């Protein structure tokens, strides 16, 4: 009984710090002592408890002694000390900065730097988005180990936290861009296209193109949404909803490919935008067809005629690349033939003519190597003669190895395709204006097809003549009738001070469509230009009548006795009320058209010219601001599909549409330079051949000789 009371008193004293009990305590059994608690605070990693005094601990960095008794100070004092300990390697004072060496695009410099947890978290989220990394990357063991050495203070978030940070970053960037569209009331030009993922889900991308107040051409992907299908009305309703959501009030054009559903979509958008007053010229020129798709259709018709030589070369490449042994033999044949090319033969994608051009441009250098290969591999000719379909009656046999005539055809055909390849690359640019050169580009195509159809270059060779005639027929379908073409391409050429309505402009049209039709085009283009100028004058120009009225009132107030001046100003205001608008219109138009044209040089910066002359041509500069931003291809939107294909791959196929849109859009808004995922052929050759030439240097670093 005595023992129980003593033990109870000891427990009470331990919990309440009482000193009323006698100092001498009887021995207690182990069962009566509570188990010792584990030290769970992170502060104990930086402090050591004194052996002779368990109520105090020493700092491992500065040897400071702090109280750690659980009933008084506890670990709070230890944690607070870590925040101010100057010798703690994992902490820098909140007001203390470091000097760091940074590598920038404009040079290297030493700048002050201060650790900020929030900024590091945001930078990490940006890295995940820009570099297309999976969310699980944040939990990779190797990365966490690297960060523990590079920046121990940074607490690497989990993938769930990383996802929330990315969504927050997307919402922040979206709000800023939306605010810009609403505040600036920016007129935009749109490109849109649809894409089907590996999960058979249809996505629509919408890209806004515009010229900002500093006369810089901008491109922003504003939406990458899941749509119910490819029907035109559904796409049109989705577009209308997105424009209202983003606060975009004015649309100049919508560039789409030649799918039939896009015609229905544009018809819906014309009605919608016209009713809302969100477009110019009552949406007559809203529909802009993609030049790159039309060029693709034209060239594909030519490839159908030239299919036999191309197919024989394609099959020969497939045979050589079918096994590593054959490829090694071919490399030896390349050395024996002394081919001066370090690239590899590559196979094309048959449905993409530009990849066929790249294949032909590369393979024609290896003609002697293929001839040498036929001597080293007896199966080469035998297998190729079995490859391909049976020839139809009165048709050429496309089986067998490439012949000498095939290589002749391919070289000439490659030179012919070079013009279309350069044209496609030129019209697909997003960093420079393309609308002003549209007319000149299609005129060049017409001239080239005319020469080849008249067999001027290739003599009497019927295969090239038939090819050019078939391509010419496809060209005439889309660009043969000027009435079916978007008038903005003529107006954009007039807004280029290098062409305007000059002799060069007239010669381009008359050489393409003839003198009679050419004169009709010139007249209608000028009338459309003047009419559109009048519309812009009403929207953005100042009222001449109100200006004269204010001048008259100011004159009357300045001199009450000047009756003659007052009567004159009133008379001038009445006379100008009828024709002031047309008079001022003629003045600005005539001034621009009457000035000498600029020199036709590639170095000419069109947007810079308008930036410098905007004050002289206030209304025309507004027209140029909107029309010169028109993209003539949908490549800008289609490039998003390459990104989405990399993000929504076989390992990330479960990403939701909301997450995919956040990743695609945020990456486009943050990335300063477009990613290039295509490896250079010479670099690929170096990597393949470098496998056997690895070298270990004195520092243990592996390099390729």
Q: What is the pLDDT of residues 642-688, one digit of tens each?
A: 665 566 555 556 788 899 899 999 999 998 654 443 434 344 344 34
Query: Reduced to 3 states, what is the DSSP secondary structure of residue 339?
Result: coil
Residue 550: both structure tokens together: 């204010």
Query: For the residues 234-262, what does the mean pLDDT come to?
Result: 90
Residue 23 clears pLDDT 90, i.e. is over it: no
Q: Are 618 and 187 in contact (CB under 8 A)?
A: no
Q: Please say if the pLDDT value at position 220 is more than 50.
A: yes
Q: Which residues contact 243 (CB under 8 A, 6 or more apart)?
A: 251, 278
Q: Which domains does the chain have, with CATH numbers?
A: 1-36 (no CATH), 167-290+634-670 (3.30.420.10), 291-428 (no CATH)
Instruction: Please say whether the dihedral angle defined by the alpha carbons of residues 512, 514, 515 and 517, taken in this order, is positive or negative.
Output: negative
430 and 219 Cβ atoms separated by less than 8 Å:
yes
DSSP 10-22: HHHHHHHT---S-
Q: Mean pLDDT over residues 541-552, rounded?
A: 45
Residue 88 φ then ψ, to 5°: -70, 115
- pLDDT tens profile 54-64: 888 899 888 88
CA distance 489 to 434: 10
Residue among 296, 258, 308, 305 at smallest CA distance from 470: 305
The alpha carbon of residue 624 and the mean position of all alpha carbons in its chain are separated, in whole angstroms, by 24
Pairing of strands 250-256, 187-196: parallel
Write the pLDDT tens digit of every residue in 616-628. 999 999 999 999 9
| Those residues with Cβ within 8 angstroms of residue 212's Cβ, 6 or more apart along the chain or in another chain | 184, 186, 218
3-state SS of 470-493 is HHHHHHHHHHCCHHHCCCHHHHHH
Q: What is the pLDDT of residue 614?
A: 93
- Give the predicted TM-score (pTM) of the model: 0.73
Residues facing 339 on adjacent strands: none
Q: Report the residue count for the chain.
A: 705
Block residue for tokens 């018809």: 267
pLDDT at 698 over 70: no
pLDDT bin (cut points 50, 70, 90) of residue 603 is confident
* Average confidence score pLDDT of the chain: 78
Task: Name the band, by pLDDT with cuts 50, 70 and 90, for residue 490.
Answer: very high
Q: Closest Cα partner for 381 from 395, 397, 392, 370?
A: 370
């Amino acid at each position: 009984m005595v023992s129980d009371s003593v033990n109870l008193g000891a427990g009470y004293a331990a919990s309440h710090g009482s000193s009323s009990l006698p100092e001498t305590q009887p021995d207690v059994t182990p069962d009566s002592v509570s188990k010792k608690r584990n030290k769970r605070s992170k502060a104990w990693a930086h402090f050591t408890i004194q052996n002779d005094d368990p109520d105090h601990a020493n700092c491992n960095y500065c040897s400071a002694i702090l109280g750690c008794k659980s009933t008084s100070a506890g670990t709070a004092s230890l944690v607070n000390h870590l925040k101010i300990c100057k010798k703690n390697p994992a902490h820098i004072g909140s007001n203390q900065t470091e000097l760091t060496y940074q590598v920038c695009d404009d040079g290297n410099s030493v700048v002050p730097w201060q650790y900020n947890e929030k900024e590091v978290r945001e930078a990490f989220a940006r890295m995940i988005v820009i570099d297309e990394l999976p969310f699980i990357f944040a939990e990779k063991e190797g990365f966490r180990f690297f960060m523990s050495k590079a920046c121990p203070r940074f607490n690497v978030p989990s993938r769930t936290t990383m996802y929330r940070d990315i969504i927050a970053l997307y919402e922040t960037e979206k709000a800023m861009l939306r605010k810009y569209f609403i505040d600036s009331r920016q007129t935009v030009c749109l490109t849109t296209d649809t894409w089907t993922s590996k999960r058979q889900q249809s996505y629509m991308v919408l890209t806004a193109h515009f010229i900002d107040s500093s006369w810089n051409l901008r491109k922003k992907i504003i939406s990458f949404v899941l749509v119910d299908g490819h029907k035109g009305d559904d796409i049109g309703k989705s577009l209308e909803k997105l424009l209202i959501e983003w606060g975009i009030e004015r649309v100049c054009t919508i560039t789409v490919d030649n799918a039939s559903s896009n015609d229905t979509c544009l018809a819906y958008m014309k009605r919608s935008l016209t009713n809302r007053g969100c477009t110019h010229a009552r949406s007559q020129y809203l529909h802009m067809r993609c030049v790159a798709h039309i060029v693709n259709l034209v060239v594909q018709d030519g490839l159908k005629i030239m299919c036999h030589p191309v197919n024989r070369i394609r099959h020969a490449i497939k045979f050589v690349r079918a096994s590593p042994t054959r490829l090694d033999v071919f490399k030896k044949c390349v050395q024996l033939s002394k081919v001066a090319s370090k690239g590899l033969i590559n196979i094309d994608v048959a449905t993409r003519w530009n990849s066929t051009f790249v294949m032909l441009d590369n393979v024609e250098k290896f003609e002697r190597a293929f001839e040498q290969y036929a001597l080293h591999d007896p199966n080469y000719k035998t297998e190729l003669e079995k490859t391909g379909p049976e020839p139809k009656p009165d048709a050429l046999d496309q089986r067998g190895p490439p012949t000498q005539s095939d290589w002749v055809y391919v070289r000439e055909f490659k030179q012919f395709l070079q013009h279309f390849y350069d044209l496609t690359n030129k019209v697909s640019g997003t960093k420079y204006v393309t609308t002003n050169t549209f007319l000149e580009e299609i005129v060049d195509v017409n001239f080239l097809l005319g020469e080849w159809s008249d067999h001027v270059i290739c003599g009497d060779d019927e295969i090239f003549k038939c090819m050019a005639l078939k391509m010419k027929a496809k060209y005439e379908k889309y660009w043969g009738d000027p009435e079916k073409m978007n008038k903005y391409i003529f107006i954009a050429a007039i807004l280029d001070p290098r062409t305007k309505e000059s002799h060069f402009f007239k010669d381009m049209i008359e050489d393409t469509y003839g003198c009679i039709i050419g004169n009709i085009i010139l007249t209608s283009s000028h009338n459309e230009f003047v009419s559109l100028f009048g519309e812009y004058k009403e929207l953005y120009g100042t009222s001449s009548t109100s200006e004269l009225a204010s001048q008259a009132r100011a004159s009357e107030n300045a001199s009450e006795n000047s009756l003659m001046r007052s009567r004159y100003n009133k008379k001038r205001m009445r006379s100008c009320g009828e024709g002031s608008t047309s008079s001022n219109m003629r003045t600005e138009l005539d001034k621009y058209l009457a000035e000498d044209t600029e020199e036709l040089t590639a170095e000419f910066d069109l947007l810079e010219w308008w930036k410098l002359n905007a004050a002289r041509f206030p209304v025309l500069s507004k027209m140029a601001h909107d029309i010169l931003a028109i993209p003539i291809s949908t490549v800008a939107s289609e490039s998003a599909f390459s990104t989405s294909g990399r993000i929504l791959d076989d390992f990330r196929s479960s990403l939701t549409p909301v997450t995919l849109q956040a990743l695609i859009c945020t990456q486009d808004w943050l990335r300063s330079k477009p990613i290039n995922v295509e490896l250079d052929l010479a670099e690929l050759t170096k990597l393949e051949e470098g496998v056997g030439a690895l070298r270990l240097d004195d520092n243990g670093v592996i390099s390729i000789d």
